[in-house]
Protein backbone atom coordinates (compact mmCIF):
# COMPACT_ATOMS: atom_id res chain seq x y z
CA UNK A 1 0.00 0.00 0.00
CA UNK A 2 1.02 3.62 -0.47
CA UNK A 3 2.55 5.30 2.57
CA UNK A 4 -0.26 7.57 3.87
CA UNK A 5 2.20 10.40 4.36
CA UNK A 6 3.47 10.11 0.78
CA UNK A 7 3.18 13.14 -1.46
CA UNK A 8 4.72 13.24 -4.90
CA UNK A 9 7.58 15.70 -5.05
CA UNK A 10 7.06 16.41 -8.71
CA UNK A 11 3.60 17.13 -10.13
CA UNK A 12 4.97 18.97 -13.15
CA UNK A 13 3.97 16.29 -15.69
CA UNK A 14 1.39 13.75 -14.51
CA UNK A 15 -0.57 11.59 -16.98
CA UNK A 16 -4.32 12.19 -16.89
CA UNK A 17 -6.77 9.32 -17.20
CA UNK A 18 -10.21 10.91 -17.77
CA UNK A 19 -13.18 8.70 -16.93
CA UNK A 20 -16.95 9.19 -16.85
CA UNK A 21 -18.70 8.65 -13.51
CA UNK A 22 -15.53 7.75 -11.58
CA UNK A 23 -14.07 9.86 -8.76
CA UNK A 24 -10.99 8.55 -6.97
CA UNK A 25 -10.19 9.58 -3.39
CA UNK A 26 -7.00 9.46 -1.35
CA UNK A 27 -6.40 5.97 0.12
CA UNK A 28 -9.09 4.39 -2.08
CA UNK A 29 -8.03 1.64 -4.49
CA UNK A 30 -9.48 1.65 -8.01
CA UNK A 31 -9.20 -1.40 -10.30
CA UNK A 32 -8.73 -0.45 -13.94
CA UNK A 33 -8.68 -2.34 -17.24
CA UNK A 34 -6.63 -0.54 -19.91
CA UNK A 35 -7.41 -1.36 -23.54
CA UNK A 36 -7.15 1.83 -25.62
CA UNK A 37 -3.82 2.18 -27.43
CA UNK A 38 -3.04 5.61 -25.99
CA UNK A 39 -3.63 4.42 -22.45
CA UNK A 40 -1.71 1.21 -23.00
CA UNK A 41 1.24 3.46 -23.93
CA UNK A 42 0.53 5.57 -20.84
CA UNK A 43 0.70 2.44 -18.69
CA UNK A 44 4.02 1.40 -20.21
CA UNK A 45 5.44 4.87 -19.57
CA UNK A 46 4.24 5.25 -15.99
CA UNK A 47 5.37 1.76 -15.03
CA UNK A 48 8.84 2.67 -16.29
CA UNK A 49 8.73 5.86 -14.23
CA UNK A 50 7.07 6.96 -11.00
CA UNK A 51 3.89 4.91 -11.45
CA UNK A 52 1.74 8.03 -11.01
CA UNK A 53 -1.60 8.60 -12.78
CA UNK A 54 -4.28 11.21 -12.07
CA UNK A 55 -7.93 10.21 -12.42
CA UNK A 56 -10.02 13.06 -13.85
CA UNK A 57 -13.80 13.23 -14.13
CA UNK A 58 -15.14 13.87 -17.62
CA UNK A 59 -17.72 16.64 -17.76
CA UNK A 60 -21.12 16.19 -19.46
CA UNK A 61 -20.93 16.14 -23.25
CA UNK A 62 -17.60 14.28 -23.29
CA UNK A 63 -18.96 11.72 -25.78
CA UNK A 64 -18.78 14.19 -28.70
CA UNK A 65 -15.06 14.74 -28.25
CA UNK A 66 -13.82 11.65 -26.46
CA UNK A 67 -10.89 10.85 -28.74
CA UNK A 68 -9.58 14.42 -28.64
CA UNK A 69 -9.58 16.45 -25.39
CA UNK A 70 -13.03 16.47 -23.83
CA UNK A 71 -13.52 18.85 -20.91
CA UNK A 72 -12.62 17.53 -17.47
CA UNK A 73 -13.12 18.79 -13.95
CA UNK A 74 -9.95 20.63 -12.89
CA UNK A 75 -9.74 18.81 -9.53
CA UNK A 76 -8.24 15.34 -9.86
CA UNK A 77 -6.84 12.64 -7.61
CA UNK A 78 -3.29 11.44 -8.15
CA UNK A 79 -2.65 7.77 -7.48
CA UNK A 80 0.12 5.21 -7.53
CA UNK A 81 -0.08 1.91 -9.40
CA UNK A 82 0.19 -0.78 -6.73
CA UNK A 83 0.08 -3.91 -8.88
CA UNK A 84 -0.30 -4.54 -12.57
CA UNK A 85 -0.79 -7.37 -15.03
CA UNK A 86 -0.22 -7.39 -18.77
CA UNK A 87 -2.67 -9.70 -20.51
CA UNK A 88 -1.91 -11.83 -23.61
CA UNK A 89 -3.86 -9.43 -25.84
CA UNK A 90 -1.65 -6.51 -24.79
CA UNK A 91 -4.18 -4.91 -22.46
CA UNK A 92 -3.46 -4.21 -18.80
CA UNK A 93 -5.13 -4.59 -15.46
CA UNK A 94 -3.84 -2.51 -12.57
CA UNK A 95 -4.79 -1.27 -9.12
CA UNK A 96 -4.41 2.45 -8.54
CA UNK A 97 -4.38 3.84 -4.99
CA UNK A 98 -5.18 7.51 -4.61
CA UNK A 99 -3.02 9.72 -2.42
CA UNK A 100 -3.26 13.42 -3.40
CA UNK A 101 -6.03 15.87 -4.25
CA UNK A 102 -4.69 18.15 -6.99
CA UNK A 103 -5.71 20.91 -9.37
CA UNK A 104 -4.86 20.98 -13.07
CA UNK A 105 -2.71 24.06 -13.67
CA UNK A 106 -2.14 23.49 -17.37
CA UNK A 107 -2.20 20.70 -19.91
CA UNK A 108 0.63 20.17 -22.31
CA UNK A 109 0.07 20.45 -26.03
CA UNK A 110 -0.78 17.56 -28.27
CA UNK A 111 2.06 15.67 -29.89
CA UNK A 112 4.39 15.29 -26.91
CA UNK A 113 2.50 12.24 -25.67
CA UNK A 114 -0.22 10.01 -27.09
CA UNK A 115 -2.23 10.66 -23.93
CA UNK A 116 -3.04 13.74 -21.86
CA UNK A 117 -0.44 15.09 -19.42
CA UNK A 118 -0.82 18.01 -17.06
CA UNK A 119 1.01 20.08 -14.52
CA UNK A 120 -0.78 19.74 -11.19
CA UNK A 121 -0.78 21.51 -7.86
CA UNK A 122 -1.93 19.97 -4.56
CA UNK A 123 -5.26 21.28 -3.27
CA UNK A 124 -4.67 23.49 -0.22
CA UNK A 125 -6.40 22.10 2.85
CA UNK A 126 -7.67 23.60 6.08
CA UNK A 127 -6.85 20.92 8.60
CA UNK A 128 -9.08 19.69 11.43
CA UNK A 129 -7.85 17.86 14.51
CA UNK A 130 -9.21 14.51 15.62
CA UNK A 131 -10.67 16.29 18.66
CA UNK A 132 -12.62 18.58 16.33
CA UNK A 133 -13.86 15.58 14.34
CA UNK A 134 -14.62 13.33 17.32
CA UNK A 135 -18.39 13.91 17.20
CA UNK A 136 -18.46 12.94 13.53
CA UNK A 137 -16.46 9.81 14.25
CA UNK A 138 -18.82 8.81 17.06
CA UNK A 139 -21.80 9.29 14.76
CA UNK A 140 -20.16 7.01 12.21
CA UNK A 141 -19.49 4.38 14.87
CA UNK A 142 -23.14 4.55 15.90
CA UNK A 143 -24.30 4.10 12.32
CA UNK A 144 -22.20 0.98 11.89
CA UNK A 145 -22.96 -0.44 15.35
CA UNK A 146 -26.70 0.16 15.43
CA UNK A 147 -27.56 -0.25 11.78
CA UNK A 148 -27.46 -3.23 9.45
CA UNK A 149 -24.02 -2.68 7.95
CA UNK A 150 -22.29 -5.01 10.40
CA UNK A 151 -24.03 -7.86 8.58
CA UNK A 152 -21.90 -7.08 5.51
CA UNK A 153 -18.21 -7.63 4.94
CA UNK A 154 -17.57 -4.04 3.95
CA UNK A 155 -19.49 -2.84 6.99
CA UNK A 156 -17.30 -4.90 9.31
CA UNK A 157 -14.18 -3.61 7.56
CA UNK A 158 -15.23 0.00 8.09
CA UNK A 159 -16.12 -0.65 11.72
CA UNK A 160 -12.58 -1.97 12.20
CA UNK A 161 -11.19 1.15 10.52
CA UNK A 162 -13.16 3.30 12.95
CA UNK A 163 -11.45 1.47 15.82
CA UNK A 164 -8.03 2.01 14.27
CA UNK A 165 -5.69 5.04 14.36
CA UNK A 166 -6.68 5.94 10.78
CA UNK A 167 -7.78 9.56 10.68
CA UNK A 168 -11.46 10.47 10.49
CA UNK A 169 -10.83 12.47 7.32
CA UNK A 170 -9.27 9.44 5.63
CA UNK A 171 -12.19 7.25 6.68
CA UNK A 172 -14.63 9.85 5.34
CA UNK A 173 -12.84 9.76 1.98
CA UNK A 174 -13.14 5.97 1.90
CA UNK A 175 -16.83 6.18 2.77
CA UNK A 176 -17.38 8.68 -0.04
CA UNK A 177 -15.61 6.42 -2.50
CA UNK A 178 -17.29 3.17 -1.43
CA UNK A 179 -20.82 4.21 -0.47
CA UNK A 180 -21.90 7.47 -2.08
CA UNK A 181 -23.48 7.23 -5.51
CA UNK A 182 -23.94 10.86 -6.56
CA UNK A 183 -20.96 11.54 -8.84
CA UNK A 184 -21.36 15.33 -8.69
CA UNK A 185 -21.36 15.18 -4.90
CA UNK A 186 -18.29 12.95 -4.88
CA UNK A 187 -16.46 15.39 -7.13
CA UNK A 188 -17.46 18.27 -4.85
CA UNK A 189 -16.12 16.36 -1.85
CA UNK A 190 -12.86 15.69 -3.67
CA UNK A 191 -12.54 19.43 -4.35
CA UNK A 192 -13.40 20.52 -0.80
CA UNK A 193 -10.26 21.78 0.93
CA UNK A 194 -11.86 22.38 4.35
CA UNK A 195 -11.41 19.02 6.08
CA UNK A 196 -14.05 19.64 8.74
CA UNK A 197 -16.65 20.72 6.19
CA UNK A 198 -15.76 17.76 3.98
CA UNK A 199 -16.19 15.22 6.76
CA UNK A 200 -19.49 16.77 7.88
CA UNK A 201 -20.87 16.80 4.34
CA UNK A 202 -19.77 13.20 3.71
CA UNK A 203 -21.41 12.02 6.91
CA UNK A 204 -24.66 13.86 6.16
CA UNK A 205 -24.81 12.37 2.66
CA UNK A 206 -24.03 8.90 3.99
CA UNK A 207 -26.81 9.11 6.59
CA UNK A 208 -29.25 10.52 4.04
CA UNK A 209 -28.43 7.77 1.57
CA UNK A 210 -28.90 5.08 4.24
CA UNK A 211 -31.66 6.40 6.54
CA UNK A 212 -32.36 2.92 7.89
CA UNK A 213 -28.77 2.73 9.11
CA UNK A 214 -28.92 5.89 11.20
CA UNK A 215 -28.82 5.37 14.97
CA UNK A 216 -32.21 5.79 16.61
CA UNK A 217 -32.32 8.48 19.28
CA UNK A 218 -34.64 8.23 22.24
CA UNK A 219 -36.44 11.41 21.14
CA UNK A 220 -37.42 9.79 17.84
CA UNK A 221 -38.95 6.67 19.37
CA UNK A 222 -42.77 6.45 19.15
CA UNK A 223 -44.59 7.67 22.26
CA UNK A 224 -46.54 5.03 24.24
CA UNK A 225 -50.26 5.01 23.64
CA UNK A 226 -52.48 6.24 26.50
CA UNK A 227 -55.50 4.25 25.24
Q: What is the tens place of the pLDDT at every residue in 180-191?
A: 999 999 999 999
How far apart CA 204 and CA 195 sit, in angstroms, is 14
Share of the chain above pLDDT 70, in %: 87
How far apart CA 57 and CA 187 sit, in angstroms, is 8
How far apart CA 185 and CA 191 sit, in angstroms, is 10
Q: CATH code for 14-122?
A: 2.30.130.40
Residue 116 has pLDDT above 60, yes or no: yes
Predicted pLDDT of residue 148? 80
Predicted pLDDT of residue 4? 44
Domain assignments of the chain as residue spans, ordered by start:
14-122, 134-213
Residue 225 has pLDDT above 50, yes or no: no
Share of the chain above pLDDT 90, in %: 74
Task: Give the model's confidence band at 217: pLDDT under 50 very low, under 70 low, under 90 confident, else very high.
Answer: very low
* Residue 132 backbone class (left: φ over 0; alpha: ψ -120 to 50; beta: rest): alpha
Predicted pLDDT of residue 223? 34
Q: Name the nearest CA neighbour of 192 among 2, 26, 7, 14.
A: 26
Mean pLDDT of 17-25: 96
Torsion sign, CA atoms 118, 123, 124, 127 = negative
Q: What is the tens place of the pLDDT at every residue in 61-86?
A: 777 777 678 899 999 999 999 999 99
Residue 30: phi and psi, rounded to 5, are -115, 120
For helices 168-179 and 153-162, angle between their N-to-C axes, nearest 10 degrees: 170
Helices and strands (H and E) in the chain: how many: 6, 6
Amino acid sequence: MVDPTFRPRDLSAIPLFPLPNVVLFPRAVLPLHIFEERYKQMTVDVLAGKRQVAIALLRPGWEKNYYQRPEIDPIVCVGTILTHEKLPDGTYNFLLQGHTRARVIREFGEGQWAYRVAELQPVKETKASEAELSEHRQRLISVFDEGTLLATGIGRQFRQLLSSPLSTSDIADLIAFNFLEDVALKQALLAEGDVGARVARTLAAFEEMHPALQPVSSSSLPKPSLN
